[in-house]
Amino acid sequence: MTPRPPYLPPPTEDDIRKGGFSTPWDAPMIPPFPFRFRNAEILTVYWRTDPAAMAYLLPPPLRPEGDVVCCHIYKMNDTDWLGPYAEANVMFGASFEGRQGAYSPYLVLSSDVGVTHGREIHGQPKKLGKPTLEARGDLFVGTVERNGIDVLTATLPYKQHPCDPARLKPYFDFATNLNLKAIDHIDGMPAIRQLTSRRLSDVVVHECWEGPCTVELRANAQMPIFRLPVLEPLQGFYWRADFTLVPGEIIHDYLKVSP
């Protein structure tokens, strides 16, 4: 039986050299930019932590800002390429040469495509796990599971206080994400050592609610969010939004800077 020809022509060397190319070429793993997230539900909780703990996790020359951490637990209901999945992003304020943003030491996703894209393109330290966001009666409950352990549990009263979306970022600008991208060559030599920055685009917030939150952390050596201890839970937000992931930029290249 003669095999049916593929829907796409085989790649040329020029195709392989282009940005956005991903393997396997006939069923690529990584989405090209841009791609859209629609009707995402997000639980965002803030807590005060030890600034020394933040500094320990931050790659130089990034500098920590403040003493507040946040975790976004996303229920991604409709995403180009990836489909429905869940994600959790732990962040805190950081800066580089006057550029303000948020650094992500820990991310957990339920999507293998999202894990791969985050690590290979952004340099985000994503790992496979099981974040969940649900309403349990009069309470939003967000959990982040890795290795069968709920490493983070967050709660927020269900839709008690509507608020302006401008209130979502009271401590730092989490929309600008700063990451450490580290990839080696096959021979073990460093190929990429960069600080990267990306910002979400075309953000449309459909609803936003705030209130007092709780945050509980449990130890896990493979997802050690407990290194950012909860000294004081602050406020939380439930919001629903659309946004687009677009290309970012390289803000520091370790391999091009003389030691």
Query: What CA–CA distances, in Å, run from 160 to 61, 126, 133, 185, 229?
Result: 41, 33, 17, 52, 27
Q: Exposed, middle or buried by CB within 10 Å (0-12, 13-18, 19+), for 30?
A: middle
18 is catalytic: no
The residue from 75, 126, 127, 169 that is catalytic is: 126
Residue carrying structure tokens 């979502």: 168
Give just the sign of the alpha carbon dihedral 70, 50, 52, 217. negative
Distance of CA 31 to the CA centre of its chain: 16
Query: What CA–CA distances, in Å, run from 57 to 3, 52, 65, 226, 254?
Result: 52, 9, 13, 12, 18
Residue 133, number of CB atoms within 10 A of its CB: 22
- Tell whether omega for the bond before 61 is within 30 degrees of 0, i.e. cis: yes
Closest CA to 130 of 143, 113, 116, 117: 143
DSSP 134-165: EEETTEEEEEEEETTEEEEEEEEESS-EE--G
* Catalytic machinery residues: 126
